[in-house]
Amino acid sequence: MSAALKVVRPGLFDTLQDMGRTGYMALGMPTAGAMDRIGLVLANALAGNKPGTAGLEIGVMGPDLLVEADSVRVALVGPLSPSLIDGPDAPPKPLDSDRSHLLKRGQILKVGMVEGSSTAYLAVSGGFALPAFMGSLSTYARAGIGGFDGRKLSAGDTLPLAQTDVPARDERKLAQPFDYGKGPVRIVWGPQEEYFSEQGRKTFVEAEYRVSKEADRMGIRFEGPVIEHATPPAKGGADIISDGIAPGAIQVPGAGLPIVLLADRQTVGGYPKIATVASVDLPRLGRLLPGQVVRFTAVTVEEAETLRRDQEARVARTIADFQPALPAGGIDLARLYEENLIDGVVYEPLAL
């Protein structure tokens, strides 16, 4: 019998994502992939998967999923408030996020809302049994490729699972939510910082910028003080010969407001890039919501590399520090019933 998760009710923007479709930008193919790679890595680790296994990226509001498998282990990571429905007339029971859960056939997982972040993640043990496109299961919805039919999930979709059943084991949880860091977003100048005046560069690192409503998987448009371009005929202006777009590249068009380009970014662009977000802070950018305010600060390439190595070490420690997780209610009844709780009987006759 095949195993699957069926979408009873879709979320707002739920797509399958892994670490991205790398190696094809020269052909005009964007990488796509998880907006928050750390969230996906932790979800996969809780589920017992390799770090790059494709999972569901939950955008703002998650789906309701019917379990059509004997058993499935799911792991939820992010600020979610999930719940579980055991049967048609059963009330939902609250579940914890940042941990794994063993689900059975007929149960409905309500992933719930994402609170305080734009993304959260759901991984399943063994992953999803879907064909890769250009070596990746990542969804690139603008072109309709990858993932599940190249689009966000809809009611009635059935996501096939690679495993029809999962072995029993202790469930695991994060000891505490991962710390993504606070303070200014770290950037490295360039590659076209000379296209901006000294005052423009100063404005960029001294002002506050607010995430606009034009924020999605392709990038974030910020609102705030205008960044001044250098004056022609010196090297400057708001246009360049189109060149490659790296993750986190910060374009500044003629209007003078920055655009940070993210997972679904185009492969080339013709606006000058004042700076590039250090990879250590890309997961933070992938979690921002409209209205949130950020500042930027410059670091060297060497500092950015050190920060990323330190972050990878913290992710590894977080995984090493996973703790056992009890079922809702605090007692694992199934495991309890398997144990011999009587170690012996003492008989004492009643005194008559």
CA–CA gap between residue 273 and residue 193 (Å, rounded)? 7
Torsion of CA 199, 203, 206, 207, to 10 degrees: 160
Q: Which amino acid is at 249?
A: A
pLDDT of residue 326: 82
CB contact at 8 A, 159 and 68: no
pLDDT per residue as tens digits for the range 277-313 = 999 999 999 999 999 999 999 999 999 999 999 999 9
List phi, psi (to 5°) of 99: -165, 175
* 177 domain-assigned: no
If one counts the domains in the chain, the total is: 2
Q: CA-CA distances (angstroms) from residue 316 to 175, 178, 181, 282, 309? A: 13, 11, 16, 18, 11
Q: Based on the domain organization, do 41 and 133 belong to the same domain?
A: yes
Q: Is residue 152 one of the residues assigned to a domain?
A: yes
Q: Within this chain, do residues 12 and 101 fall inside the same structural domain, yes or no?
A: yes
CA distance 120 to 113: 9
Quick one: 86 and 50 in the same domain?
yes
Residues 189 and 87 in one domain: no
The tokens 């012996």 sit on which residue? 344
Query: Does position 340 have pLDDT exceeding 80, yes or no?
Result: no
Looking at the fold, whether 190 and 163 belong to one and the same domain comes out as no
Are 227 and 142 within one domain?
A: no
CA distance 90 to 81: 18
The whole-chain average pLDDT of the chain stands at: 92
Angle at 118 between CA 174 and CA 122, to 5 degrees: 45
59 token code pair: 């955008």
CATH number reported for the structural domain that contains residue 240 in this entry: 2.40.100.10
**Does 246 lie in the same domain as 127?**
no
Chosen domain end from 310, 325, 344: 310
Q: Are residues 157 and 19 in the same domain?
A: yes
Residue 271 in any domain: the answer is: yes
Residues 111 and 35 in one domain: yes
Distance separating alpha carbons of residues 301 and 304, to the nearest angstrom: 5
**pLDDT at position 258:** 97
Amino acid at 213: K
Amino acid 233 reads P
115 within domain boundaries: yes
Q: Which of 64-73, 195-204, 326-335 has the lowest mean pLDDT?
A: 326-335
Query: Is residue 199 located within the same domain as residue 273?
Result: yes
Q: Is residue 347 over pLDDT 70?
A: no
Tell which of 170, 194, 220 closes a domain: 170
CB 21 within 8 A of CB 136: yes
pLDDT of 39 over the 80 cut: yes
Count how many residues are written for the chain: 352
Q: What is the pTM of this model?
A: 0.90
Q: Please report whether residue 180 resides in a domain.
A: no
Any domain includes 39? yes
Are residues 18 and 158 located together in one domain of the fold? Answer: yes
Q: In which element (H, E) is residue 185 found?
A: strand 185-189
Q: What is the pLDDT of residues 217-265, one digit of tens each?
A: 999 999 999 999 998 655 667 888 899 999 999 999 999 999 999 999 9
Residue 332 lies in a domain: no
Q: Are 103 and 82 in contact (CB under 8 A)?
A: no
CA 69 to chain centre: 25
Whether 342 is in a domain gets the answer no
Q: Are residues 134 and 211 in the same domain?
A: no
Q: Which domain holds residue 267?
A: 185-310
Q: Considering 145, 170, 195, which residue would you say is the last residue of a domain?
A: 170
